[in-house]
Amino acid sequence: MSRFFAKSDSESEESSSADEITPKATGTTFNKQALLLSDDEEDTKRVVRSAKDKRFEELTNFIKTIRNAMKIRDISKCLEEFEQLCRAFIKSKAIVDKEGVPQFYIRLLADLEDYLNQLWEDKEGKKKMNKNNAKALSTLRQKIRKYNRDFETEIASYKENPEQSAEEEEEKDDIGSGSSSESDDDDDDDGVTAKSFMKKKPQEEEKAAPEASKFLKGAADEESESDDDDESEHWSSDSVGSGSESEDNEGTAASLAVVFLKKTQDGDKQSDRRRDDKKEDRKRRHKKKPTEEEGEEEGEAEEGGWEKVKGGVPLVKEKPKMFAKGTEINTAVVIKKLSEILQARGKKGTDRAAQIELLHSLAGISNEHNLGEGILVKIKFNIIASLYDYNPNLAAFMKADMWKKCLECIDELLDILFNNNNIFIGENIAEDSENLAVSDQPFRVRGCILTLVERMDEEFTKIMQNTDPHSQEYVDNLKDEGHVCGIIDRLLQYLESKGSTEEVCRVYLRRIMHTYYKFDYKAHRRSLGLQGETKSEQDQEESEGEDSAIIMDRLCKFIYSKDRTDRIRTCAILCHIYHHALHSRWYQARDLMLMSHLQDNIQHADPPVQILYNRTMVQLGICAFRQGMIKDAHNALLDIQSSGRAKELLGQGLLMRNMQERNAEQEKIEKRRQVPFHMHINLELLECVYLVSAMLLEIPYMAAHEFDARRRMISKQFHHQLRVGERQPLLGPPESMREHVVAASKAMKMGDWRTCHSFIINEKMNSKVWDLFPETQCVREMLVRKIQEESLRTYLFTYSSVYDSISMETLSEMFELELPTVHSIISKMIINEELMASLDQPTQTVVMHRTEPTSLQNMALQLAEKLGGLVENNERVFDLKQGVYGGYFNRDQKGGYQQKQGYQRGDQKGGYQQKQNYQRGGYRNQNQSSY
């Protein structure tokens, strides 16, 4: 028997008041008021929820945690919760397939992706993130982009109309709450609750009366609304009323159901009305939002208590006044205001742009009231310093507008200093001894204009380092170098008259650093005797000042004689050598390098000086190559090229393979040391010059020592390129610069100088390498001549064993060389004992002595040497077995035996070698004397 239809134990309980409801213990019978479910009993009842509600509640809990983590920028927490959310969504797949993807889930995916994209684009914010958050950001961004591909259509529809999506979701929530209340059921078959009865009764009458389902739905909605809003007075009041009305004959379930159905009908109307009101309010809010904002702004303006802000920055309606009205403007007041502004400098939360504006305003006020040039210079110093401090990060570079302001301020400061000789500035002037007021005494201002200009030069370098070198912006920024050099020249003139020797050396070095790497085309034209094509060009050349060589010579010699710091003198020497080498003054550059002895202690210098030294050595090697000094060029370039990291040693980029060896801070320091792109040395040209120099030295040497087992390598890199070319299974026409050099080397090995010439000098190589030299034609002619000469040497080394004699005229025709040149080359080879031959002067022929061993004889000699080594090793092992070196003998016997044996073996070996050399040498001398 269900407790719903249970009778009470006594009639006194039936007649008790409706307000006095006494709770019964479990297992006892209940009266009619207890059947109407009071608030206390409702709170303690077990709530049965559907699977849909459970799954969706789990999803909403994860979403709430993710949104909280988004607010505090905890990306690692977002990643962790997002992974759990994905797993929970997979568990809810059956419900999602039936009901569809919930709109709140789509909204989170769209909002999370937008949030991550916003964080990713915020470069400054990413730098401030800790390591875990930065790593989680990249991981979560990849995951969300991949995950959202499955929901592209839903996300697109949500982004098109997010308001409508929100309305639909709320409607679904309302309906879902009603259906969830409908689906609440008790698992106990014996106990029928009010909710179960309220559900079952309309289901039986559903076919006859369709309105019953509406009643049920309304009742469920009312129940959910009452649960959400904590308004349960309708249940209590109606239950009391219904209990009093049915005291006479209400023992049946039908009458009680009618009471509930009546209640649900009323609740249905109320819930429908509330839902309609919500929709109308929402639509009204969306439609009238702009007008409401305008009205709010007007109301706030009338009240004057609130101010609307956008993006967290208050709207500045008018600038704050610098001085109170009626204040007398004098030097003391301006200095006090200046110190107030400077006190906020560097503090957290200080608006640096506003501080610069305040200083500009203060400078304008001091000008208006004619407070003198001293206070103006003081303010200008602080304006420039504030511009430099605008970027607190050392690695950041100045923006274009700040850079222009900086150049203008420095120009204005120099104008003031040039126009007023009674202003003395310096770092050694104390602040209390400054004289800024207008008086008979000269102005004394604390500050160093040289430091500001040096910082300006460093900022220009940073701007060039951080600009894309292949863009028009780089060209536009490079145009400012003329302005920078003009400022340095003006400062140079100022310090020559008023600065100390140390300051003059520093500014001279700045001027040198902007001059040493530039090729002076106009001086080059004048040295060749060329003049401008038009009258205006000729006048311009005449009106121009000194050549760069004269300027460099004057500035560097002053530093050599006056400078007391090793670093400035070292940099000046290297720049001077670089400039000499750039303009093909090989002997001056070489002598200056050798006299300076920089190569002995350059490893102790700081990295920027080492980079400058490497650049100078490379330029020296290229200069030697242009002059035809092939061996000197190879020696100068050997250290840089053999290391395999010329790009890094020249400060022209970082190698990726060394990225693991340095941390982020070291990488930033390395990037700040990089040379701007317009100062780079072409690495392909450098490698080509090195490989061609190695080819001209190595190929004749390889031909001369073809069968020598102890042959050494002149260039390991060149041999590596040769091996790479030999390993290729299919040899096609060369494409890269290295392949051209390898193909030319193979041709030279055979003595074919024409093929070698065609591989080294052609249109492709001209465009890549040779046209980059200032004197292109001279370099090509030198190369052709060197190829002819070295091909002749290689030919004689390779084929001397074939000839008995060969005419020099024939060699001259074969290699298209003059007869005296051929005679000179062969004479040098005979003198240096590279070629075993003699010259027959009357017939102009080279007579071979045929003393060079054949290939079979060379192999036999190598075998004899190896057998000799084997015999020596065998004797040593035999002596060890006999115990001579550590046996039972006395030390005297042992020592004497060793000495005697060593003496005899050394004597025999040495005698044999001497005898052999004597015989071979005598044979050669005898043959030579016979001719």
Would you state the structure tokens that stand for residue 594, as one six-digit string?
A: 């050798």
**For residue range 420-446, what is the model confidence (pLDDT) as tens digits?**
888 888 888 887 777 777 777 888 888
SS3 sequence of 591-650? HHHHHHCHHHHHHHCCHHHHHHHHHHHHHHHHHHHHCCCHHHHHHHHHHHHHCCCHHHHC
Confidence (pLDDT) at 185: 43
* pLDDT for residue 807: 92
SS3 call for 807 = strand
Q: Are 374 and 441 in contact (CB under 8 A)?
A: no
The model's pTM: 0.60
Strands 845-848 and 837-840: antiparallel
Does 53 score more than 90 pLDDT?
Answer: no
Q: What is the 3 state secondary structure string of 416-457? A: HHHHCCCEEEECCCCHHHCECCCCCCCEEEECCHHHHHHHHH
Q: What is the mean pLDDT of residues 909-925?
A: 39
Tens-digit pLDDT profile for residues 667-714: 888 888 899 999 999 999 999 999 999 999 999 998 888 777 667 888
Residue 478 and residue 464 in contact, taking contact as beta carbons nearer than 8 Å: yes
Cβ atoms of 589 and 620 closer than 8 Å: yes
Residue with tokens 């709109």: 103
**Separation CA 586–CA 584 (nearest Å):** 5
Pairwise CA distance, residues 769 & 688, whole Å: 7
Q: SS3 for 530?
A: coil
In 10 A of CB 757, how many CB atoms? 19
Q: Could you give the count of Cα atoms lying within 13 Å of 292 in the half-sphere of its Cβ?
A: 6
What does the block give as tokens for 343?
A: 């006190």
How long is the chain?
931
Q: What is the mean pLDDT of residues 36-45?
A: 47
Position 58 pLDDT exceeds 70: yes
Average pLDDT rounded to a whole number, residues 114-131: 86
Q: 73: alpha, beta or left, given left = phi > 0 and alpha = psi -120 to 50?
A: left
What kind and span of H or E run contains 471? none
Q: Six-digit token pair at 491?
A: 């400062």
Task: Please say whether the beta carbons of 265 and 218 come within 8 A.
Answer: yes
Report the distance separating Cα 783 and Cα 777, nearest Å.
Answer: 10
Q: How far apart are CA 555 and CA 575, in angstroms?
A: 11
Please tell me the distance from the alpha carbon of residue 449 to that of residue 282, in angstroms, as a whole number: 65
In angstroms, rounded to a whole number, what is the distance separating the alpha carbons of residues 548 and 543?
A: 15
Question: How confident is the model over 826-839, as pLDDT tens digits?
Answer: 999 999 988 888 98
Average pLDDT, the chain: 76
Q: What is the CATH number of domain 682-848?
A: 1.10.10.10
Structure tokens at 920: 């071979």
User: Each residue of 599-624: pLDDT tens digit?
Assistant: 888 989 999 999 999 999 999 999 99
Residue 360 and residue 352 in contact, taking contact as beta carbons nearer than 8 Å: no
Interacting residues of 338 by C-beta distance below 8 A, sequence separation 6+ = 359, 362, 378, 379, 382
Rounded CA separation 224/129 (Å): 45
Q: How many whole angstroms from its chain centre is CA 26?
A: 74
b/e map of 250-261 (b: 16 or more CB within 10 Å)?
A: beeeeebbebbb
More confident residue, 249 or 105: 105
DSSP code string of 80-117:
HHHHHHHHHHHHTHHHHHHH---HHHHHHHHHHHHHHH
For 240, residues 6+ apart whose C-beta sits below 8 A from its C-beta are: 18, 19, 33, 36
Q: Is there a contact between 379 and 363 (Cβ–Cβ < 8 Å)? A: yes
**Residue with the larger pLDDT of the pair 141 and 731:** 141
Give the number of other Cβ atoms within 10 Å of residue 688's Cβ.
Answer: 22
Rounded Cα distance between 721 and 744, Å, is: 12
Look at the block and give the residue holding tokens 């004992």: 833
Amino acid at 280: E
User: In the predicted model, is pLDDT for residue 286 greater than 90?
Assistant: no
Q: Which residue has the tokens 């709170």?
A: 43
Stretch 44-60: mean pLDDT, rounded?
79
Domains of the chain: which residue ranges? 51-162, 330-448, 682-848
Average pLDDT of the residues in 153-162: 84
3-state helix, strand, coil in the chain (%, to 5): 70, 5, 25
Cα dihedral across residues 231, 232, 234, 237: positive or negative: negative
CA distance 425 to 642: 51
Residues 6 or more apart whose Cβ sits within 8 Å of residue 726? none
Q: Taking 70 as the threshold, does the pLDDT of residue 7 lie above it?
A: no
Which amino acid is residue 472, in one-letter code?
Q
Mean pLDDT of 350-373: 85
Cα–Cα distance, 675 to 654 (Å, whole number): 11
